[in-house]
Structure 1
């Protein structure tokens, strides 16, 4: 059997030294290559590595989501970038999940949030989507945010999209939500089907179009005593239908801005704080009794009128004779006055009289 000598033996260099030399050359090539690392700051953004904050403002022609967010990012602030759509997995980088805790997306003109848009952000605690123009929001938009504590959706929805909000907020993944802000969305009702599936401590509903809170909502508030509600700048209709809400506002401290909950209708009560109304102002029983009393008075008056007409009808003969007698008496009296007038006006009769 013939043995062929190796390259190491021919060159007089041992195989171990040759192997180490190859490793050294490969390491030098890797370090000198211009490949971008995951720690680099995205273009048109400013980064603070110590605090883990990446801030991306308008500029440099960047109007979309940055595709190279550093893995060390704990706080990402995007503002004024004209992001029309948040697609599925919008914040995953090369399939890698980020350890992000705070995400602010206010003032970006967002119109559509697709299903699983925040996929992979398992540690996200605060999400701010305020001051956008949402027209479509998927019922699975917030899926995967199991650690989310604060969700800000102030002034975010177009009128046609508020109906989709209930579906999006019904996600079981929001069960740890502590604070929900929905100010300025022209809501006419609370878009939460069940308050007991959340861990809500603060619910902000100021500056909407809420006229009343129904019995079911008030019952939920009584059961979830930890919730603090903010309801100022809503056009409450202060009639007897507000009774349940009125007594909850008077007897509970859950509404943090009760003194700013003002009546909008009717005109006589406009500008009056709901908590300062009298009990009879919203007492449906008294209002119903008052309505019944007016109806009863009307019926009594109608009966009196009918009786009076019947009396007149039954005595029509006597009334006719009485009217004829009065007419004859008036005629005789007028004839006497007429005769005296003729005597006083005739001078010949006057001379005879003298």
Structure 2
């Protein structure tokens, strides 16, 4: 009976304690953790191992014997070691490997055979090395690759990256001053990070070829103006954009009109002094804004910004680095902590003006009242004082012109409330005398509805309910999904990392709850990644994602957040039909109709030529017959006899011979002049003969993987 139990344990991937290498941990099923082992060689592990973590070991060389028999290995983490090179074919026997992490080593060159045999590889991490060159054919066998990270190296050029399935490419912090469409043949790319490459421009053809782009990072380059490439329709699906630390000039509203879908925008270090309120109207879906390291002029033109952040629920990133430089009274203060009164805005004035009835002049006594935009932290101003002014003595401090009444009505003109004058959902209105007042919701009080009762009643509008549930504190150790697209989920791991400050890494396990294949996929993420994007997901599916510290034993049957305490679920969006596909569908019947029309036109022209030829031949015969009557019979022209013979062979109907056409059909003679007017299309149709040799030397297109 015992051999059967042993066979069961071995087949299920459980590593027995006797097979676990020294100084390693084998508590998790199918996974071995050899962390900070301080050895220069790869440990020998059981052949059933699926996930092998051997980072921070001091390994300086690799050989094929190190991975002999590990045909089931799917994840190999060799990061933070002392590797200087990757020997050719060293991973050749790891045919099932999907994740390879070689980051933070000392690798200087990638040769042609460094990754040979890795036909199933999906994620390759080479960042934080000293890579100076990559062989032109180093990545040729990696057609299944989804993520490639090369940031933080010493690259000055790239081989042509042809990855039909690639979703993430990070080339940041290298020296590659130019990138064109021939360099990146990645039609399905979702995230492109090219920060600090020394770019002086962004190639428009390159961006146009990336129609599936969701994230673009072009920060810390030498861009002197907003790239024209950002004005293309291909970027309508862009969700995240970083322009930080570029010597840009003025930010114009028209430069961002195509980016209405942005949810995250980074404008740090752009020497911005003030934002215009109309600028952010381009981004109705904005959720996160970073504007740190800018010399803000915190005066009245910027007073709206703090209120706008609260009203739109926009999260301001790096608030401790977002400070005022001017004026001196606000210098050094955090922009997010200023109140409206700190911006020094003058009070606004509302003037009520009457109109004459008929031809009889009527003098009205309008009421002026200082009006200031407040936040919840600002107490209401004192009640306005009533003064009598004429229509010609408006206050010079009033930024809003008075509203003109109707010239044909005796009623008072309509007034426009200043924006944001009533707080906490209150409604602004005017009484018959023109006095402004606020109608407050239940649970609020005050002149401007600025006071909240200690025990407020349940809010009636559904929007307020959503706000309350949004700000409710979540579980401290829970992970969350902050951004979801049709093929990716952005995970927020801040709370998970904060509650576990001593973890060595994060183990992410995710599975598709909507598909037939619910097998978990496991990834290892460094503890320095507070955010991580899962890519290559299926659209319109619900995914369960769980996080646990690396090396910690977890319950393999745990599928829900109730069992593990650090899981979340997110549903990917549905697939939007690409514009190119719809264009092809709409053009296909049109093209077919056009071909039929051209064929009919060619037939008509052919008949016209034949008819014209017949008429000419008959007239010539009649003329010759008349001459023969006058001069007598003449010797027949041999060429004419040949034509008559050919006509008789074709039925005697006088049509042109076709023998020469059949002989020269497979060559390329000049088309008739009557067909040249249609750019030769009718003539090209006649070349499509089955018995002629093909002249199509184009290589067959590979099928799409998506």
Q: Same fold (TM over 0.5)?
A: yes
Partner of 2:330: 269
The answer to whether structure 1 residue 103 and structure 2 residue 169 are counterparts is yes
Offset of residue 253 of structure 1: 1.9
Deviation sequence 1:265-307 (CA, Å, 0-9, x none): 11221111223334244355459x9xx89xxxxxxxxxxxxxx
How many correspondences in the alignment?
240
Deviation sequence 1:215-264 (CA, Å, 0-9, x none): 2213334xx14442122222211122213324323533213338433111
Candidates 268, 272, 295, aligned match of 1:206: 268
| Bigger mean CA offset, 244-253 vs 101-110 | 244-253
| Bigger mean CA offset, 180-189 vs 40-49 | 40-49
Partner of 1:235: 295
Candidates 213, 218, 223, aligned match of 1:148: 213
Q: Is the 8 A contact 1:250 1:275 kept in 2?
A: no
Partner of 2:148: 76
Q: Is the 8 A contact 2:115 2:139 kept in 1?
A: no
Candidates 251, 257, 262, aligned match of 2:317: 257
Offset of residue 74 of structure 1: 2.2
| Structure 1 counterpart SS, 2:280 | helix
Partner of 2:231: 170
| Bigger mean CA offset, 134-143 vs 233-242 | 134-143
Q: Is the 8 A contact 1:225 1:254 kept in 2?
A: no
| Structure 2 counterpart SS, 1:203 | strand
| Structure 2 counterpart SS, 1:269 | coil
Offset of residue 200 of structure 1: 1.7
Candidates 123, 126, 129, aligned match of 1:53: 123
CA distance in 1 between partners of 2:299 and 2:271 (Å): 16
Deviation sequence 1:127-186 (CA, Å, 0-9, x none): 11122211233233311111112222232x12xx231x3312222212211211233324
Higher relative contact order (CA 8 A, sep 6+): 1
Q: 1:218 to 1:152 in 2, by over 3 A?
A: closer
| Structure 2 counterpart SS, 1:241 | helix
Q: CA RMSD in A?
A: 3.8
Candidates 41, 62, 76, aligned match of 2:133: 62
Q: Is the 8 A contact 1:215 1:244 kept in 2?
A: yes
Runs of 4+ in 1 over 6 A off after TM superposition: none
Q: Is the 8 A contact 1:119 1:144 kept in 2?
A: no
Offset of residue 64 of structure 1: 7.2
CA distance in 2 between partners of 1:112 and 1:83 (Å): 10
CA distance in 2 between partners of 1:272 and 1:130 (Å): 30
Q: Is the 8 A contact 2:133 2:155 kept in 1?
A: no
5+ residue gaps, structure 1, are: 1-38, 294-354
Name the TM-score, length of structure 1 as normaliser. 0.56
Partner of 1:18: none
Name the TM-score, length of structure 2 as normaliser. 0.30
Q: 1:104 to 1:278 in 2, by over 3 A?
A: closer
| Structure 2 counterpart SS, 1:169 | helix
CA distance in 2 between partners of 1:281 and 1:241 (Å): 12
5+ residue gaps, structure 2, are: 1-90, 93-109, 349-369, 371-395, 398-706
Structure with more of its chain in helix, by fraction: 1
Candidates 172, 189, 195, aligned match of 1:130: 195
Give 1:1-354 correspondences, 5 Å limit: 43=112, 45=114, 49-55=119-125, 58-59=130-131, 62=133, 68-70=139-141, 71-79=143-151, 80-84=153-157, 90-92=160-162, 98-114=164-180, 116-117=181-182, 120-155=185-220, 157-158=221-222, 161-163=223-225, 165-187=226-248, 189-190=250-251, 193-195=255-257, 197-221=259-283, 224-257=284-317, 259-260=319-320, 261-282=322-343, 284-286=345-347
CA distance in 2 between partners of 1:259 and 1:107 (Å): 25
| Structure 1 counterpart SS, 2:292 | coil
Q: Is the 8 A contact 2:230 2:256 kept in 1?
A: no
CA distance in 1 between partners of 2:273 and 2:176 (Å): 29
CA distance in 1 between partners of 2:272 and 2:209 (Å): 31
CA distance in 2 between partners of 1:232 and 1:203 (Å): 12
| Structure 2 counterpart SS, 1:242 | helix
CA distance in 2 between partners of 1:276 and 1:68 (Å): 51
CA distance in 2 between partners of 1:143 and 1:118 (Å): 14
Q: 1:110 to 1:65 in 2, by over 3 A?
A: farther
